[in-house]
Each structure stands twice: as C-alpha cells, then as structure tokens.
Amino acid sequence: MTSSNDREMLRRRIECEVGDAVGELPGRSRNVYTALLVDGHRQWRLLLHRTQPAPAGRCDAMLIGPGGVFAVNIVDELPGEAQIRRLRAQAEHVFTGVSYGPESGEFVRETVELVFVLPAGRRPDADGRFVVVTDATLRSVLGRDRILPAKAARALAEHTGRRHADYVLLPTVTPAPAAAPDGLLEVDALQTDQVNLALAKPFPTWLTFLDPTQNALVARNYTGPARIVGPAGSGKTVLALHRMAHRARRSTGPLLFTTLVRNLPPCQQSAFARLLPDAAHRAEFTNLHAWAQNFLAERGKPRIMELKRTTTAFNLAWIRAGRVSPLAATEPSYWREEIDRVIKGRGLPATDAGFAAYAEVDRRGRRVPLHPVQRRHVWALYRAYEQIRTERGCFDGNDVIAAALDELRARPLDRPYAMVVVDEVQDMTLQSVRLVHELTGDEPNSLLFVGDRQQQIYAGGWRFVDAGIAIVGRSERLTRNYRNRRAILKLAASLPGAGPVDDFDTGDRHSLEHTEAALPDGIAERWSCTRAELAGHLRGRLDLIVAAGISLSDTAIITITNPEAEAILRLLHQWQIPATELVDYRCAAADTGVKVGTVYRAKGLDFRAVIHPFPVPAAPATDAERERYELTMRQQFVAVTRARDYVWLAEISG
C-alpha cells in the first residue's frame, strides 16, 4: 500500500512533469491531470495538447489505459452539439490508422470515448453519447472494466505520441517496458493476451469479450438493415452489443435489443451495462411479444397473449374441422405449427384472399408436402380456430404482433429508435421481422439482425426479401468459435443437428466444417444410459464439475421438455443443491446454484459447464416425424454448444 508521504511525493513529481511538458496550467487543469496520473500512474498514459486549454475543436488530453481510450475535455459547461461533433471527429482523427499488426485491421477509432470534466459539485447529466464526470468523480474513468492488455495500452500511447506533434506524451513515473517495434501492436500476442485476460475474469465478464480481429465490424457502415450470421459460439451477439454501444455514442435516441426468448434480454442488458454504463438507461432489453403488448397498452389498444386459452381454442377447432379430415393422419401439433408459423406467422388473414396467398406460399422448412386439396383442409382448420378464438376473445402471439404492426403503420413512434438489434432472428416469424423493420425502416446502421439457421428450433422458414428487406450485400459471416473449447466444438460438430444448412436469402451453404476453436482443450463426454441410471450419473458429474474448479453457479442442466426440467429440479432439491430455473435466470450475481431449464430457455446463453440429458428419439417413419426429429436433433446441438469448458451429453434410452 502506498503511504500518504509516498503519494504526496508522487503527486509533486507528476505536477513537475506536467509543467515541464506544457508549461503553466490553469489550476483546475493541473489538478485534474495530476489526479488521473496519481491514481493511474502504473497502468494509464496521458497525452496533453501542447496548448492548454486546447484550441476550439481540439481535445485537451488523451487518456489511454486498460479501460480503453478517452478524449478528455475540462469544461465549465457541456458544449453544444456542433462542438461535440467537432471534438469527436478530432479525437477519432488522432487514432486513425493505428494498426494492431502488419496483417491485421486498424484500431477502431470509433471506440474512443469523449469525457467532459465539470467542476466539483455539478450534477452530471448525459445521454450516453459521452462520459460526464466532475473534478471529484473523475477517478471513476480509471475504474472501467479492463479491455486492453497493459502492453497494448502502452504501445498505443507511444505510437500516438510519435504520430501527433500537437500532443505530448507524459513520461511514466516508474520505468515502463519498451513499446513494440515501430509502435505497432503484435496481433498474435495481443489476441492471446486479450483472450487470457478475459478467461481469467469472472465468467459474466467473458460474455462481453470481443476478439480484436472483429473490431472493424463494430464500426462498419451499412446503408440499411444488416445481418450477422455465424455458427454457435462465433460471437454474433457480443459483436451486436458492441455495435449497439458504438451507435449509442453517436445518437441520442432510444435503443432496443429484442428476441423471441423471454429470459435472454435481461442477460444481454447486464452485458451492455458493462460495455457502456453511461448509455444503459437509454437501452431497452425485452422479448418482442412483451414489447408489442406494452406498446399496444400505451396506445390504449391492449392485447394480451394467452397460451392456455388459445390452445383450448385450437383443440376445439381440431375436433370440429381437423380430426374428421385427411389431416388426422398427422399429429395435431404439426398443424398448429402450420397455422402459427406458416399462415398467421406470415400475416395471412382468414379470408378468400388469404387462402389464395397460402395456396402459393413456399412452405420453407416444412417436410410434409401439401397439394391444393390438403391446403384447403388446413385452411378450414385455420378458419375454425380463428372463429372460436374470436368468439372467446383471446389472442395468440401472432395476434399481438399483427396488432402492433398495424398500429405502427397507422401511427409511427413519436421518438424513433436509434438502433434495434434482433437476436436469434431465425426463430422469429415473418410478421415479427416486419414489425421490427417498421420500427427503423431502412435508415443506415439502425437495424441489425443476428442469427444462425443451424440453431433454428422452431418450425418453418422465410426470406428477408419476403418482409421487404434487402439484406444481400449487408451480411457478415463469422467463422471463429469463441465459446466452445476445442473438445466441445469437436463433439458438437459430430452431432446430427450440426448438418449443413442453406441460407434462404443468399443461397450459401453454412456448416461447421471450417469453424476454428479459439480456445484449446476442454472436456466433452458422451454417455449412453437408461432413465434409471441417470440420477446416479448426474450427481457424479456435478461432483466432477466442482472438483474441476467450476462453480455450480456457472453450470446448467439443459433438457428438451419442461417435465424433464422439473424432474431434475426435484432431484437437486433432494440433494440440497441450490438451483435456479432458467426462466428466472437474469445473468446476475444473485443467480446462484445450478441453472435448470429447457433448450428453449437456454438459447443465446453461455455457461462454463453444461449437462444435457437427451432422450434419444425413435427413427422417423413419416415426413412429419422426420421434421420433428430434425428439430429435436437441432435442439441437442444447441444445448451442447452452450458450454465453454465442460459438457456431458447423456443420451438416454428406454
């Protein structure tokens, strides 16, 4: 610990260095720079403009350290919009062209954050585009989560100081290692350092790790809606969150992160708050049905999704129009999916015009072929369902989405979203895609879709062009896996659900063949057992996970069905092992114990260890069974790929 005497001596030495570098300073400026360097002298570097305060449109200082790069401005009042734009442009210009290595992309200049330092006692008030602190709270900048290794920060500061004569790099008080040759950051060493740094942190911090090679995609300019695709674990959602943070720094409007899964948005909300705490209050994280219900309630047109009542309505419709028709040869659930995903999911009304459209629709992803007469029977079932549902005054998920879409088209939002991110888009309906598109239109950089058809676990399919969205030319494909260690990725690639899939919009064929694991080693076990043997094996695996140094709070048991999850929870309760249901999981420190739930709840989430009890399905005999089998095997694939360090796949027979 530094003594008060040592601290005072350090402060005096730093004051002298600041004075030698830029001459006499105003008292506030001297105190601010000294405070930053006293508290951050071992890891942070400061570049001061040779004129203090800096001329108009120039930042007073550049602060570079483990928490990132900050353009510091000491002000009495927040400047106007035009001055803020000039300062940001100048700050980014300072870092233009800084390379991570001879064969790598450039440092992402757009990640530089503006900082305004107000006098002590002032109440900071900002919207997330920049950081506002006071003389008394400026040390909070030094406490940001580490995103740069020490040697990367040093090399970046040295390189910047050599390139820009207007700024002088203050010497370190204690000796520092030499900068990298020519001021370049060695890309291989940098990647290794950042991966190891992220792995050494608590697991939630790992969930925001972005590989330096993906930095260029954070600030890439798109002239309209864009898409990120890639196999499980390739960092799609993390990249989307970084793009959302980048957009937040350059806009004042609200931000929306949405998906189909109810418990995924709160986890991503926590991750975004770690990335850009100053803009967290502007960002809304919610599943799309909840957003639509809230929106309609605010407009005085409430629609509440009621699964139980609409299921009853469908069952009555099946009795009336389904089981007495040729459709009875196939399970009723198949036709419920046909109505939900193909008919209502496309917004086809229960009218003659609606049937004319259904008669021609390409039922992508559905294996049971339907000739015109069969489609008429499906349509009769659909009309019976709609009649009963309407008479009973209940709404399904598609009704909520459709009502929100109609309302938006009639009266757009008073304050449009600056950006909307749609995660797990492959499992949404076409109407849902139309709804989010209505929120932003084709504004540049305002709508981002994230997904992977290989992880689709709901029936059906569609093309972006069917929703009036041109995505070709604005689609990025990631290929490196950052979630699964090598052994886990190898197991996942061997599963039936890992088979190649076609991109409906581009015609490209996607597979895991060329996916590289960024993380070595890992433990992946595949066992066969009976239901009677599962409990004993399960308890043993939990003990092994703890013995391997993995916390049970970073462990998930992922099932296919809700009854299976409930049975696991009862076992854990008997063993007095703490557990949290995935439906209630919020990726918070308070979420202790093993996480338990279905693959529907685990989608998009990461865990250090995963146990997946998987009842092996019977070989399919019909087209409908083949479609169900493929979706089930895809669920198995999704469950296994939730694991970072350890996975146990228990294939249950009997």
Tell me what the mean pLDDT of segment 224-247 comes to: 93
Q: With pLDDT > 70 as the criterion, what percentage of the chain qualifies?
A: 90
Domain boundaries, the chain: 4-193, 211-300+414-478, 307-394, 516-653
Structural contact between residues 471 and 451, judged by C-beta atoms closer than 8 angstroms: no
pLDDT number for residue 206? 54
Model confidence pLDDT, tens digit, residues 558-605: 999 999 999 999 999 999 999 999 998 888 777 789 999 999 999 989
Spell 481-490 as b/e; 16+ CB within 10 A means b. Answer: bbbbbbbbbe
Question: Is the overall model pTM greater than 0.85, yes or no?
Answer: no
pLDDT digits (tens, 9 = 90+) for 422-436: 999 999 999 999 999
Annotated ligand binding at 231? The verdict is: yes
pLDDT at 636 over 60: yes
**CATH fold of 516-653:** Rossmann fold (3.40.50)
- In this predicted structure, the answer to whether residue 102 has a pLDDT above a threshold of 80 is no
- Alpha carbon distance 607, 643 (integer Å): 5
Per-residue pLDDT, averaged over 643-653, amounts to 96
Residue 9 binned pLDDT confidence (cut-offs 50, 70, 90) = low
pLDDT tens sequence across 201-211: 556 555 567 77
654 is in an annotated binding site: no
Top pLDDT among 364 and 183 is at: 364
- The pLDDT, as a whole number, for residue 41 is 63
Residue where the block lists tokens 């009639």: 410
Q: Which CATH superfamily is domain 211-300+414-478 in?
A: P-loop containing nucleotide triphosphate hydrolases (3.40.50.300)
Hey, is 120 helix, strand or coil? coil
Q: How far apart are CA 554 and CA 201, in angstroms?
A: 13
pLDDT at 476: 92
Ligand-binding annotation for 451, yes or no, is no
Continuous segment of H or E residues that includes residue 155: helix 150-163
What is the structure's pLDDT at 516?
87
Q: What is the structure's pLDDT at 315?
A: 98
Q: Is 235 annotated as a binding residue?
A: yes
More confident residue, 136 or 537: 537
Question: Phi and psi at residue 543, in whole multiples of 5°?
Answer: -65, -40
Q: Is 233 annotated as a binding residue?
A: yes
139 or 356, higher pLDDT? 356
Whose CA is closest to 60, among 75, 72, 43?
72
* Confidence category of residue 176, pLDDT binned at 50, 70, 90: very low
pLDDT in tens, 69-100: 999 999 999 999 999 999 999 999 998 877 64
Say what the pLDDT of residue 2 is.
47
Residue 45 has pLDDT above 80, yes or no: yes
What pLDDT, on the 0 to 100 scale, is given for residue 437? 98
pLDDT in tens, 470-497: 998 999 999 889 889 999 999 999 999 9
Residue 348: pLDDT over 60: yes
Q: For residue 634, is pLDDT > 70?
A: yes
